[in-house]
Amino acid sequence: MPEEPGDWAPAVFEEHGRHLLAVLREHFESIRQVPVTVPRDTGDLSASLRAELPEHGVDFERVLADTRELVVPYLVHWNHPSFHGYFSNSASFPGILAETMTAALNVNAMLWKSGPAASALERVVLGWVAEMAGYPAEADAVLVNGASLATLYALAAARDAALGPSVRVEGLAGRDLPVLRLYTSDQAHSSVDKAAITLGFGLANLVKVPTDERYRMRPEALEAAIRDDLAAGFKPVAVVATAGTTSVGAADPIPAIAGVCERTGVWLHVDAAFGGFWRLAPSLADHVEDVSRADSLVVNPHKCLYIPMEATALHCRRRGALADTFRLVAEYLTSAQDEHTVDYMNLTPQLGRSFRALKLWWVIRTFGRAGLARRLEHSVELANWLREAVTAEPLWHCPVDSIYPLVCLRFEPDAGREARDRLNAEIVEELNASGEAFVSHTVLDDGYVIRVSIGNIHTTRADVERLWRALREIAARRFSLPRAA
């Protein structure tokens, strides 16, 4: 058979790999000249990428060239030091290399016996993650692909713990069951709503507990809601508290909420997807809420721990609860068990699982706890610098503070709310269109605010200064235009 473009000897693989690394090196060396976002007019991307299913293979060099030409310029560069939208994250260099190694080994970490060191390493890194997040290391834990699914799984376990094993057999419908209730704050992530839908609670039974003036759940309102529901014959199943809300980075008073849950016998799930690791930063160590009393906890190493996407940790102190819900062993998956083994397929619905532990192991070992802490502290310092700069500027304000490096700011000239909202939305749009930086927004009770999330591993003080200058310049230009007209 003649050689086809896809027939790579290992030496050819190395050659292409070296070329790819050179391309990536150039990308990172010139990253500050790369626009963070796509140009305003991208044309019809689907049309430029549309092609017939290729009948014959093409050279890898062609595929790589097309990627650089047709794909990369039309991405939003989340791994850019001027990306401050949503929650800024980073794939660090050791993490990027770990993804390659993971793919090369292509282990399926479903069972202990399907890759013993993969499962053993998962247990090790989850212990480290628990320690860093301040959660009991002996809890059950598992790596999953995102916080949304982690919350779904935790609430499934909470539901089954509340109803007992019959739910596995008889299901929920057509039975004599009370109305099942969930509680979270009006600031919680939409993944809680999605879990309520998926698990059959229904959105009507997700109680949105009111928050205080700093957007934190009010524990006394939570307790009253649970007690009212108990009096009405409903069954309170779980409370979801948040450490670091998506809108403004608020932290619910978790110890007080844990007290309510303990008094009423309700499962506490803590969503610390964003907030979970900031206690490592020395200046925040004493300010971050203690999560250790939660029945289950989700943290996102892919959000602030410099690990590439799809690395979330779900921890559960109620040992055996995840397995009570998800363990189901088909004959072809049976395996010998002892106290040293763990079959991760039993802790979530996912069977085939990539070897996610490796990227955590590489990144955490490469930086060390102290190295991670120093980088997190640096983000906190940059955010504090920006907050002070905003506060010192007469027409700019931070309408709400977060302990985390998420800065909410707003241009507040003497204009009505509607005009002010429009102006700030235009500032965001113009900044993002410029490609110089990327920010996102939220809407509070008193209007639109600009969100600046600081957390990329390569972001420097000069980057944040440049962002702040750009915001002020756009605002000054926009605000003077209608006046002059």
Ligand X SMILES: *Cc1c(COP(=O)(O)O)cnc(C)c1O
248 near ligand X (CB under 6 A):
no
Give the shortest CB-274-to-ligand X separation in angstroms: 4
Give the shortest CB-455-to-ligand X separation in angstroms: 11
Judged by CB under 6 A, the stretch of 19-27, 268-276, 345-353, 405-413 that binds ligand X is 268-276
Give the shortest CB-243-to-ligand X separation in angstroms: 8
Q: Name which of 197 and 395 has its Cβ closer to ligand X.
A: 197
Q: How far is Cα 365 from Cα 372, in angstroms, rounded to an integer?
A: 10
Q: Name which of 300 and 325 has its Cβ closer to ligand X.
A: 300
- Return all residues near 337 (Cβ < 8 A) that are at least 6 apart: 112, 343
Closest CA to 163 of 203, 201, 208, 204: 201
Pick from 181, 189, 279, 353: which binds ligand X (CB under 6 A)?
189
Number of residues that bind ligand X (CB under 6 A): 15
Q: Name which of 111 and 217 has its Cβ closer to ligand X.
A: 217
Amino acid at 24: L
Q: Name which of 250 and 347 has its Cβ closer to ligand X.
A: 250
Give the relative orientation of helices 357-392 and 461-484 as an angle to the nearest 10 degrees: 50
Give the shortest CB-300-to-ligand X separation in angstroms: 5
Q: Name which of 92 and 151 has its Cβ closer to ligand X.
A: 151
Structure-block tokens of residue 127: 């212990």
**CB distance 195 to 188 below 8 Å:** no
- Do the bridges between strand 235-242 and strand 267-272 make them parallel or antiparallel, or are there none, so unpaired? parallel
246 near ligand X (CB under 6 A):
yes
Restricting to residues 148-187, which ones interact with ligand X according to CB under 6 A? 148
Restricting to residues 325-364, which ones interact with ligand X according to CB under 6 A? none
- Return all residues near 402 (Cβ < 8 A) that are at least 6 apart: 244, 248, 249, 250, 408
- What does each C-alpha distance from 42 to 64, 78, 286 come to in angstroms? 20, 18, 47
| Residues in the chain, overall count | 485
Q: How far is Cα 151 from Cα 233, in angstroms, rounded to an integer?
A: 26
Pick from 83, 201, 215, 274: which binds ligand X (CB under 6 A)?
274
Q: Name which of 238 and 427 has its Cβ closer to ligand X.
A: 238
Pick from 88, 90, 185, 300: which binds ligand X (CB under 6 A)?
300
Q: Name which of 98 and 147 has its Cβ closer to ligand X.
A: 147
Pick from 160, 252, 271, 421: which binds ligand X (CB under 6 A)?
271
Half-sphere exposure of 138 (CA within 13 A, CB side): 1
Q: Name which of 102 and 312 has its Cβ closer to ligand X.
A: 312
- What does each C-alpha distance from 320 to 114, 295, 346, 388, 472 come to in angstroms? 22, 12, 10, 48, 54
Restricting to residues 113-152, which ones interact with ligand X according to CB under 6 A? 146-148
The CB density around residue 417, as the number of other CB atoms within 10 Å, is: 10
Pick from 79, 89, 242, 348: which binds ligand X (CB under 6 A)?
242
191 near ligand X (CB under 6 A):
yes
- Binding residues (CB under 6 A) for ligand X: these are 87, 146-148, 189, 191, 242, 244, 246, 271, 273-274, 300, 303, 312
